[in-house]
Chains A and B, each alone.
Chain A
Amino acid sequence: MQLLRSVLIRLGTTAITLIGVAVIVFFVIRVVPGNPIAMMLPPGATEADVARLTALYGLDKSIPQQFLIWVSGVLQGDFGTSITTKQPVLALILSRLPATLELSIMALVIAVVIGGGMALTGTRLRGTKTEAVIDVSNGMALSVPDFLWGLFLILIFGVLVPVFHISGRVTPSLQLPFSTNFYLFESVFRLRFDLWLDIVSHMFMPALALAIPLAAIIGQLLKQSLKETMHLDYVTLARTKGYSENHVILREALPNAILPTLTLVGVQFTFLIGGTVIIERLFSYEGLGNMAIDAVINRDLPLIQGIVILFAVIFTAVNLVVDLCYAALNPRLRHA
């Protein structure tokens, strides 16, 4: 019951957040300089052409009026039509969303594995040279932004030792038997591991570039909280019971030390999704981020609005999931 209530409250605040985001993005992109109609028309178009197209897209009405029209459409599941591609915004977004979700999730998994591994190894081998190496590499990984890692990776694994694909989502000549756009997941379901391998080798570098800074943050924070936890009395008590160092770290310290990291991963994961915008561009990866950049360049107002709303939905959903995980892991919050 408690859980249901807190979920309902969260859904309420989420709705308010989304309305706020919708208002801000709608007005801001109409106030900043740049005109989608001017982008569409060839040089030498007449005043009448401009007026006709402006009316066609409803841009001749006042901004509040436009907003009401757009919101009433959104509430019926109609996000409008993209100005550049003439296709429904929702269909466009849904066709690209799976690519970005797969990329983000893969990056998150890589970050958790690398960061968690570094934190646990550093804790197990504290006071040794290995720990020092881990601390130094963490610092390095943290101080370089994801798109620079992307460039390094392209240089190393794309050019010097070409083992991974540097652009696209899948080799274009391949026949894809998929019925959804979740290529990575569907290739596993259909047991097409040849395709899976091709998709992974396209995804690996952009995912790794996104993952490296996050891995460093996870590694640093988790190691720090493990370090503090390892000095606590209940860890000492477990040692006197005869448990090994590995057991003490994994079963006594980790479940408590992981809580601050979990909160951070939630916040950072939303940044990571934001990071896909540049990384997808860098690797010509056909996801939502790449589409977002095109939409902004072309002043494709309905598409920009749709993408921003979707990002906002994803952000709040991630935060909700993190809070639920937190309650599941921390018994003190379960009853509160």
Chain B
Amino acid sequence: MSYLSIKGLSARLKGTPHRILRDVSLEVSAGEVRGLVGESGAGKSMIGKAILGTLPESVEISGSSILLDGTDLMGLSAKERRRRIGASCALIPQDPLTALNPSRRIGGQITDRLVDILGWTRADAEARARELLAEVQIPDPERVMRSYPHELSGGMRQRILIASAFAAEPKLIVADEPTTALDVTVQKQILKLIAAMQARHGTALLFVTHDLGVVSKVCQSLSVLYGGLVVEDTTVRDFFRAPAHPYSRALLAATPKYSDPDGSLTPVPEEVIRNVQAQVSAADRGVAHG
């Protein structure tokens, strides 16, 4: 039984025929780590936003169901949906420099959900926050909780955001390119930390990234997107052994290799792009006819 089950999710820019997601279906079981990969603009971040209810106002979604633990989020009132997501899901955002409120202390930004949404006492919530900050290896949690974001480094802030995401023991975390905005030397540590936290807490993780190297290290399964269409849905083992879709194969071939640092970069061949674009158009016709 999957914890998250998306069926036929489509999205478009309001008032235009421009489609952002095309009949996307994907499943994430409890405790599973699924990668969502694709080029910029493939719609991978949009899927995370659709689940968490943070789509931009200019985007409308249609004809779909997003089942979270068997309940269709689309069928709930806005308020119920918000509460349910707040209680069972969390987001690890992309840019730690902009994801913390500059005018609020760190402590309050970790405990607010526990106190306001889940009804914990302030003392319990603060104890929990200290515990989690220690778990993400932040020295002197007490002092950090009293700090403002501008007093901390980017890596520290991303650790805090990870601690905050795990604070309420959510069942599902959406990590939206959580290492992209970080320094290369910090990226690896943060990635290890997320993987370790996920393993310890058994949280299902939807890992949005364009980095196949990251997928191979963290994920068990993955969905490959092109133009808002899932072109391949497979396990990580099968994907790296024998990708089924020509676009997946090209994407894998285009990834630079550590073992061959001087090797030239291989672009995705034009023919592959043409074919996958034709597939996207065919999917649109299918939708139009259906």
- A residues apposed to B, CB below 8 Å: 126-127, 232-234, 236-244, 247, 252, 255-256, 329-332, 335
Chain B proximity of A152: nearest CB distance (Å)? 37
Complex Cα distance, B79 from A234, in Å, reads: 20
Q: A256-B103, A329-B103 given as contacts; is B98 within 8 A of A241 (CB)?
A: no
B91 on the interface (CB 8 Å rule)?
Answer: yes
Q: Which residues of the partner chain B approach A329 to less than 8 Å between Cβ atoms?
A: 103
Q: Which residues of the partner chain B approach A233 to less than 8 Å between Cβ atoms?
A: 93-95, 98-99
Q: Is B54 within 8 A of A241, CB to CB?
A: no
Q: Is B113 within 8 A of A241, CB to CB?
A: yes
Chain B proximity of A321: nearest CB distance (Å)? 20
Closest to B167 in A: A241
Q: Which residues of the partner chain A approach B104 to less than 8 Å between Cβ atoms?
A: 255
Chain A proximity of B207: nearest CB distance (Å)? 16
Complex Cα distance, B95 from A126, in Å, reads: 26
Q: Is A237 within 8 A of B99, CB to CB?
A: yes
- Contacting residue for B103 out of A127, A243, A330, A335, CB 8 A: A330
Ordered by A's residue number, 19 sampled pairs between the chains whose C-beta atoms are within 8 Å are: A127-B57, A233-B99, A234-B101, A236-B54, A236-B93, A237-B161, A238-B112, A239-B52, A239-B53, A239-B54, A240-B54, A240-B86, A241-B113, A242-B86, A242-B117, A243-B86, A252-B101, A331-B150, A332-B102
Q: Is A234 within 8 A of B113, CB to CB?
A: no
Chain B proximity of A234: nearest CB distance (Å)? 4
Complex Cα distance, B116 from A247, in Å, reads: 11
Interface contacts beyond A244-B79, A247-B116, A332-B150: sample of 7 additional A-B pairs, CB < 8 Å, sorted by A: A237-B99, A240-B54, A240-B89, A242-B87, A242-B117, A243-B116, A331-B102
Chain A proximity of B226: nearest CB distance (Å)? 26
Complex Cα distance, B83 from A335, in Å, reads: 37
Complex Cα distance, B285 from A25, in Å, reads: 79
Q: A233-B93, A236-B54 given as contacts; is B117 within 8 A of A241 (CB)?
A: yes
- Contacting residue for B52 out of A126, A240, A243, CB 8 A: A240
- Contacting residue for A234 out of B87, B99, B116, CB 8 A: B99
Chain B proximity of A317: nearest CB distance (Å)? 26
Chain B proximity of A333: nearest CB distance (Å)? 10
Complex Cα distance, B104 from A329, in Å, reads: 10
Chain B proximity of A113: nearest CB distance (Å)? 23
Closest 8 CB pairs of A and B: A242-B86, A241-B113, A233-B99, A242-B117, A233-B98, A331-B148, A234-B101, A240-B91
Q: Which of B102, B103, B117 has the most CB of A within 10 A?
A: B103
Q: Is B90 within 8 A of A240, CB to CB?
A: yes
Q: Is A242 within 8 A of B101, CB to CB?
A: no
Q: Which residues of the partner chain A approach B95 to less than 8 Å between Cβ atoms?
A: 233
Q: Which residues of the partner chain B approach A126 to less than 8 Å between Cβ atoms?
A: 57
- Which B103-146 residues sit within 8 Å CB-CB of chain A? 103-104, 112-113, 116-117
Complex Cα distance, B54 from A335, in Å, reads: 34
Complex Cα distance, B151 from A331, in Å, reads: 10
Chain A proximity of B74: nearest CB distance (Å)? 17
B82 on the interface (CB 8 Å rule)?
Answer: yes
B191 on the interface (CB 8 Å rule)?
Answer: no
Q: Which residues of the partner chain B approach A242 to less than 8 Å between Cβ atoms?
A: 82-83, 85-87, 113, 116-117
Closest to A231 in B: B56
Q: Which of B87, B94, B98 has the most CB of A within 10 A?
A: B98
B219 on the interface (CB 8 Å rule)?
Answer: no
Complex Cα distance, B109 from A331, in Å, reads: 15
Q: A255-B103, A329-B103 given as contacts; is B93 within 8 A of A241 (CB)?
A: no
Closest to B150 in A: A332
Chain B proximity of A331: nearest CB distance (Å)? 4
Q: Which residues of the partner chain B approach A234 to less than 8 Å between Cβ atoms?
A: 98-102
Chain A proximity of B233: nearest CB distance (Å)? 25
Q: What mask results when residues 59 to 94 of chain B are scored 1 for a CB within 8 Å of chain A, else 0?
A: 000000000000000000001001101110111011
Chain A proximity of B71: nearest CB distance (Å)? 15
Q: Which residues of the partner chain A approach B79 to less than 8 Å between Cβ atoms?
A: 244
Q: Which residues of the partner chain B approach A244 to less than 8 Å between Cβ atoms?
A: 79, 82
Chain B proximity of A241: nearest CB distance (Å)? 4
Chain B proximity of A235: nearest CB distance (Å)? 8
Q: Is A240 within 8 A of B85, CB to CB?
A: yes
Chain B proximity of A86: nearest CB distance (Å)? 55
Complex Cα distance, B118 from A241, in Å, reads: 10
Q: Which residues of the partner chain A approach B112 to less than 8 Å between Cβ atoms?
A: 238, 241
Closest to B168 in A: A241
Q: Which residues of the partner chain B approach A236 to less than 8 Å between Cβ atoms?
A: 54, 91, 93
